[in-house]
C-alpha cells in the first residue's frame, strides 16, 4: 500500500458547502493508516506552485468542525490554467513534500488539472493517487446525478425569485417586470430551480431563458406580452450564458477569462439580464428591474441545505476511502437510487471523461416551448432543495356600495 503525505486543494468558485467536503476529506485522511500528514494548498494549484502549503493536521478538532459550515473556500482558490510548463515544478513540489495523495475540490477545469498532474507523475514513475471531489453550483459536471453545492444554490435562487416575484406583483403599478439572472455558463439548472418556489400559476417565475435553447427575440417579446396581459406583471429568469441561434451571447460581452470563456455578468461589464431588460423596455415602454446575483448563491453558508452539507462531507470522506484502496484518476460522484424515497449511492467517474464533458439540462426537463421546466425536472429537484414556503396573500374581498 502506498505510504506518504496527502494534500487537499480547492479551485474555482466556491459553493455554500465546499468546506464540508474539505473537512470530510481531512477527517478521513487523519484516520488513515497510509496517509502520514495532511496538507492544504493555499489558493489552489497556483499557491501550490509557490509552495504555499499549510498543515491541516495541526488544526484543532473544534476549529475544523466550525470550518465545515463557513462560507467561501477556506483554503483560498484560484483560476490558474495549468500549463504543460508548470508540470515539472508540480512534480518537484510533490517530491519535496513526499506527497503521494492529491485531492482537489472543484469543477471541470479542476478535474482536468488532477488528471494531467496524475498522468504526468505516472510518466515520470512517481507514485501518485489523484482523486477529484465534485463541486459546482452550476450542476453541470458529467457523471454525477448532481453536484455538492447545487442544492443550496438552487434553494437560494428559488427563494430569491419567489420573493422578488411577490415584490413585482405588489409593485406592478410602478414596475411591470423583473429579470433575474442565474449563473451557469452553458447549463440552465439554476434557472430551472427557481420554479421550486412557484405554487400558483400567477406566481413567479413566468418565463425562463435557458442556455440550452437559442434565444429568439420575437418569441420572447410575444411571451412577455402574453404574461403581462395575463398576470399584470412579468417575472423572467435567464441564464447568464444564453445565446442567439448563431452563437452570439445575448449579453454581447466580448471579455474573456484566462480559460478563454466569455465573462458574463459584472465581470464582463454587461449581462444577459441587462440585455433582456432593455428589450422589454424598448418594446413596451415598461419600467422594470433586473437582478444579477453573481457570487451570492455560491457563498451563502447561512442558507445551506442540510442534505447538501451532509452529501458534500461524505464526498470528501469517500475520496479518501477510494484513495486508500489504490483507486486513482476518478472523481467521487453520486448516483440516485431507484424508488420513491430519495437516496444516493456514492460512485466514481473517470477524470478523463469528467474533464472533457459537460452535463446540460436534458430535453425532458425543458418544456416544448423552451421557456419553462417540466414536472419531471421538479421531481428531480424537490428532494434536493426541500419544501419551499407558501407565502400567504390577502383574500382581497372588494367592498361594493
Range with lowest mean pLDDT among 168-172, 186-190, 249-253, 392-396: 249-253
For residues 256 and 379, the model is more confident at 379
Q: What is the pTM of this model?
A: 0.93
Q: How confident is the model at residue 268 (pLDDT cuts 50, 70, 90)?
A: low
198 Cβ neighbours under 8 A, 6+ residues apart: 162, 204, 205
pLDDT in tens, 5-57: 999 999 999 999 999 999 999 999 999 999 999 999 999 999 999 999 999 99
Q: What is the percent of the chain where pLDDT is above 90?
A: 87
pLDDT in tens, 94-132: 999 999 999 999 999 999 999 999 999 999 999 999 999
**Residue 2 carries which DSSP code?**
-
What confidence score (pLDDT) does residue 257 get?
58
Provide the 3-class DSSP secondary structure of residue 206: coil
Q: How confident is the model at residue 258 (pLDDT cuts 50, 70, 90)?
A: low
Whether the pLDDT of residue 270 is over 90: the answer is: no
For residues 383 and 339, the model is more confident at 383
Mean pLDDT, residues 207-222 taken together: 97
- CA–CA gap between residue 89 and residue 100 (Å, rounded): 15
What confidence score (pLDDT) does residue 356 get?
84
Mean pLDDT, rounded, of the chain = 94
Residues annotated catalytic, as ranges: 138
Comparing CA positions, the residue from 87, 18, 4 lying closest to residue 48 is 87
* Structural fold of domain 151-298+360-385: Rossmann fold (3.40.50)
What dotted CATH number matches 4-148+301-354?
3.40.50.450
The sign of the CA dihedral 135, 140, 146, 150 is positive
Half-sphere exposure of 290 (CA within 13 A, CB side): 22
- CA–CA gap between residue 94 and residue 329 (Å, rounded): 17
Query: What are the boundaries of each domain within the chain?
Result: 4-148+301-354, 151-298+360-385
User: Is the CB of residue 231 less than 8 Å from the CB of residue 206?
Assistant: yes
Tell me, yes or no, if the two domains 4-148+301-354 and 151-298+360-385 fold the same way: yes
Grid cell digits, residue 310: 451532509
Whether the pLDDT of residue 259 is over 60: the answer is: no
- Strand segments, DSSP code E, in 267-371 are 288-292, 330-336, 344-350
Grid cell digits, residue 267: 465581470
pLDDT in tens, 132-150: 999 999 999 999 999 999 9
Whether the pLDDT of residue 256 is over 70: the answer is: no
- CA–CA gap between residue 225 and residue 220 (Å, rounded): 9
Comparing CA positions, the residue from 377, 396, 374 lying closest to residue 385 is 377
User: Is the CB of residue 373 less than 8 Å from the CB of residue 195?
Assistant: yes
- Work out the angle at residue 73's Cα, subtended by the Cα atoms of residues 307 and 25, and round it to the nearest 5 degrees: 60
Which residue blocks in 57-182 are alpha helix, DSSP H? 61-67, 87-96, 108-123, 150-170
> Do you find a cis peptide bond into 205, omega within 30 degrees of 0?
yes
To which H or E segment does residue 324 belong? helix 306-324
pLDDT in tens, 63-99: 999 999 999 999 999 888 899 999 999 999 999 999 9
Range with lowest mean pLDDT among 162-166, 269-273, 299-303, 313-317: 269-273
For residues 228 and 260, the model is more confident at 228
Grid cell digits, residue 380: 428531480
Q: How confident is the model at residue 179 (pLDDT cuts 50, 70, 90)?
A: very high
Whether the pLDDT of residue 254 is over 60: the answer is: no
What confidence score (pLDDT) does residue 262 get?
58
Q: What is the percent of the chain where pLDDT is above 70?
A: 96
pLDDT in tens, 314-326: 999 999 999 999 9
Whether the pLDDT of residue 209 is over 90: the answer is: yes
- CA–CA gap between residue 356 and residue 109 (Å, rounded): 9
- 256 CB neighbour count, 10 Å cutoff: 11
Phi-psi domain of 294 (left: phi exceeds 0; alpha: psi -120 through 50; beta: other): left
Amino acid at each position: 500500500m502506498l505510504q506518504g503525505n496527502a494534500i487537499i486543494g480547492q479551485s474555482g468558485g466556491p459553493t455554500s458547502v465546499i468546506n464540508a467536503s474539505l473537512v470530510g476529506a481531512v477527517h478521513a485522511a487523519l484516520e488513515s493508516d497510509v496517509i502520514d500528514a495532511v496538507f492544504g494548498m493555499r489558493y489552489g494549484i497556483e499557491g501550490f506552485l509557490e509552495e504555499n502549503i499549510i498543515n491541516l493536521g495541526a488544526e484543532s478538532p473544534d476549529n475544523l468542525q466550525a470550518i465545515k459550515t463557513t462560507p467561501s473556500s477556506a483554503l483560498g482558490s484560484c483560476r490558474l490554467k495549468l500549463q504543460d510548463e508548470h508540470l515539472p515544478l508540480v512534480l518537484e513540489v510533490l517530491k519535496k513534500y513526499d506527497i503521494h495523495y492529491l485531492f482537489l475540490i472543484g469543477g471541470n477545469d479542476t478535474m482536468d488539472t488532477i488528471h494531467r498532474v496524475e498522468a504526468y507523475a505516472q510518466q515520470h514513475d512517481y507514485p501518485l493517487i489523484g482523486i477529484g471531489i465534485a463541486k459546482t453550483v452550476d450542476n453541470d459536471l458529467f457523471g454525477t446525478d448532481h453536484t455538492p453545492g447545487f442544492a443550496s444554490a438552487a434553494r437560494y435562487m428559488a427563494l430569491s425569485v419567489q420573493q422578488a416575484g411577490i415584490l413585482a406583483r405588489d409593485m406592478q403599478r410602478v414596475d411591470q417586470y423583473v429579470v433575474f439572472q442565474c449563473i451557469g455558463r452553458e447549463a440552465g439548472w439554476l434557472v430551472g430551480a427557481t420554479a421550486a418556489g412557484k405554487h400558483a400559476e400567477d406566481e413567479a417565475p413566468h418565463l425562463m431563458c435557458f442556455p440550452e435553447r437559442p434565444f429568439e427575440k420575437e418569441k420572447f417579446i410575444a411571451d412577455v406580452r402574453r404574461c403581462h396581459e395575463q398576470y399584470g406583471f412579468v417575472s423572467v429568469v435567464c441564464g447568464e450564458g444564453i445565446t442567439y441561434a448563431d452563437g452570439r451571447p445575448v449579453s454581447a460581452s466580448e471579455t474573456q477569462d484566462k480559460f478563454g470563456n466569455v465573462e458574463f455578468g459584472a465581470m464582463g461589464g454587461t449581462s444577459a439580464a441587462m440585455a433582456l431588460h432593455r428589450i422589454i423596455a424598448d418594446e413596451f415602454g415598461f419600467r422594470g428591474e433586473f437582478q444579477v446575483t453573481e457570487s451570492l448563491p455560491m457563498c451563502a453558508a447561512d442558507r445551506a441545505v442540510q442534505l447538501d452539507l451532509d452529501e458534500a462531507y461524505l464526498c470528501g470522506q469517500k475520496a479518501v476511502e477510494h484513495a486508500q484502496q489504490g483507486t486513482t484518476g476518478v472523481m467521487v460522484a453520486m448516483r440516485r437510487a431507484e424508488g420513491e424515497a430519495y437516496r444516493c449511492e456514492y460512485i466514481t467517474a473517470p477524470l478523463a471523461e469528467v474533464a472533457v464533458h459537460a452535463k446540460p439540462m436534458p430535453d425532458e426537463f425543458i418544456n416544448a416551448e423552451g421557456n419553462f421546466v417540466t414536472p419531471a425536472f421538479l421531481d428531480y429537484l424537490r428532494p434536493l432543495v426541500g419544501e419551499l414556503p407558501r407565502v400567504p396573500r390577502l383574500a382581497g374581498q372588494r367592498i361594493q356600495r
